[in-house]
Chain A
């Protein structure tokens, strides 16, 4: 009798694994899976009565409405997508650039490192929306641009160039404020590159420019992937995002819950495809070292 209850080592390990993730499994069934499936169901149906939450099958009507009937949704969606495609590369390039600047041995490194995380504290919360309401970003740029590019210089360059600079600068403030987390991640990635690689390259008389392309970039490519995915998700789940606002008003102000669910799903499927595509494309370019062995030694 006693023998039967003794589990093999393997079963025991499997059981332990399930016990460790059990809180998540419970939460998944209680709060996540059900709403997830319900909202799919909701997006394909028509609310018969709000009180008992009775659903009638309606096929693709809600989706058709989003793509064919609703004149506001598609332009808004394209705008959000365009913003994402413009902002993400800019955020990545700027945060990498800033991280490299700080990583050089300059004075007051601690100051820069700390300050660049500050806007994350404001995040995308209500306070930030408030500040943007007062055009704080434009005011920032006015002064900051004045330091870098004097107005007189722009006058010489002609109206077209100055317009372009203006357009670029308008976008850049918010981009910079959003890149706090990315800068920190890049910095830690840069810290993780072994200095001996650079020393060896210098002995072979490589220039800094070559070292950037041949050592720095491949070595931090996993961080670049992480940052790109983080940035994309962050821009899609940002509370200032007009689509999310639109979903919210459709569901709770206009009381068209099934339509809101349909839009939510169109949006989510799109995010999922973008993230998946980025992951698949980028994975080929990621440079893998056998880090686990090295870091294991470091940890011990």
Chain B
């Protein structure tokens, strides 16, 4: 018991908060300096973590600007000696980035729209109305989220093939308008959690003022669900943009490829070119344009950049939104 107390008080001293009430007590317990040192350690730890979290991005940007010489040179770890922007030019050419970007933006945009419209609508039904079979159907929603896409992909593929939907974006977009698609069940769950926290008086007032159920939903409920909409939109955007499994199953035509799908074909093209390029007798290597890491990384930067920029615009509202959705209450 005594040792426990002691450990507790040591920990206590370390975790002092700088709020007003504590400042008075600070003189009783820990010394000023131990507090200072502990604070410093916390900052070192946090910045170390920041580094860990940012490293993949730093690595991508830095490597994408390296010249061949810099890539080989071990001493060049952080700052390349010369910046080689032509890596990007090459990656853009191989990637067919304009087409890929257009396709990806189209699919992601429509899928996000579908998820928000349908999932909020469906979730409202689950949150506010009592009807026979509700809990069973909601359990099925959860199942639809848990079941891995791979488990049911074969019959699903056959289904879409019989509808002649393969090689179009329909299998990726249309289910999202019905609350399915990539993690659709999770978005229904998020919206339902929010609607459960909305006071019923709001709708009662609307109904007394003569609103029907649907007008209440569109005019009253949807506008106040802004934070949930934003949270779902950002998550749906990230997941759809990065999705690789379903597009590779349904879309096999090169012109219809989404942006991440273009990466592997870029490597193939680069490898092919490596074989066909003439051997340079002077340097004893096949010159340039080999599958070099810098160009590969330039390609990944191009793929991830639209997402990164969109996130940076939305991030403040997104992070505030998560705190307001009632998701965690």
Binding site for B on A (CB under 8 A): 13-14, 16-21, 23-28, 30-32, 34-36, 38-39, 42, 53, 98, 101-102, 104-106, 111-128, 130-131, 134, 136, 139-141, 143-144, 147-148, 173, 176-177, 180-181, 184-185, 187-189, 191-192, 199, 202, 207-210, 220, 222-223, 226, 233, 236-237, 239, 244, 247-248, 251-252, 257, 260-261, 264-265, 267-268, 271-272, 275, 291-292, 295-297, 299-300
Contact of A31 with B122 in the complex, beta carbons under 8 Å: no
B80 to A: closest C-beta gap in Å: 16
Interface residues of B in 263-297 (CB under 8 A from A): 263-264, 293, 296
Which one, B9-17, B86-94, B95-103, B105-113, is touching chain A? B9-17
CA distance A293 to B54 in the complex (A): 41
Contact of B180 with A226 in the complex, beta carbons under 8 Å: no
CA distance A264 to B46 in the complex (A): 41
In the assembled complex, 9 residue pairs joining A and B whose CB atoms fall closer than 8 Å, in A order, are A20-B217, A27-B175, A36-B147, A39-B155, A147-B48, A187-B322, A207-B11, A208-B17, A209-B15
Contact of B46 with A300 in the complex, beta carbons under 8 Å: no
Contact of B151 among A31, A98, A102, A264 (CB under 8 A): A264
Contact of B118 with A140 in the complex, beta carbons under 8 Å: no
CA distance A144 to B245 in the complex (A): 32
B220 at the interface (CB under 8 A from A): no
CA distance A24 to B122 in the complex (A): 7
Instruction: For the complex of A and B, list the 6 residue pairs with the smallest distance between their C-beta atoms, beginning with the closest.
Output: A20-B125, A27-B178, A17-B129, A125-B242, A264-B151, A38-B155
Interface majority SS on B: helix, strand, loop or mixed?
helix
Interface residues of B in 47-65 (CB under 8 A from A): 48-57, 59-60
B198 at the interface (CB under 8 A from A): yes
Contact of B238 among A53, A120, A291 (CB under 8 A): A120
With A122-B304, A131-B56, A176-B53 known to touch, is A199 a contact of B151 (CB < 8 Å)? no
Nearest opposing residue in chain B for A129, CB measure: B244
Interface membership of chain B positions 238-260, coded 1 if the CB is closer than 8 angstroms to chain A and 0 otherwise: 11011111000100000000001
B244 neighbours in A (Cβ, 8 Å): 125-126, 239
B79 at the interface (CB under 8 A from A): no
Contact of B155 among A42, A148, A173, A237 (CB under 8 A): A42
Contact of B319 with A113 in the complex, beta carbons under 8 Å: yes
Contact of A267 with B245 in the complex, beta carbons under 8 Å: no
A25 neighbours in B (Cβ, 8 Å): 137
Interface residues of B in 150-194 (CB under 8 A from A): 150-156, 158-159, 175, 177-180, 188
CA distance A222 to B193 in the complex (A): 13
B249 neighbours in A (Cβ, 8 Å): 252
A75 to B: closest C-beta gap in Å: 19
A240 to B: closest C-beta gap in Å: 10
A296 to B: closest C-beta gap in Å: 4
Nearest opposing residue in chain A for B114, CB measure: A23
A249 to B: closest C-beta gap in Å: 10
Contact of A264 with B150 in the complex, beta carbons under 8 Å: yes
Contact of A233 with B328 in the complex, beta carbons under 8 Å: no
B293 neighbours in A (Cβ, 8 Å): 134
Contact of B150 with A20 in the complex, beta carbons under 8 Å: no
Contact of B57 with A126 in the complex, beta carbons under 8 Å: no
A57 to B: closest C-beta gap in Å: 17
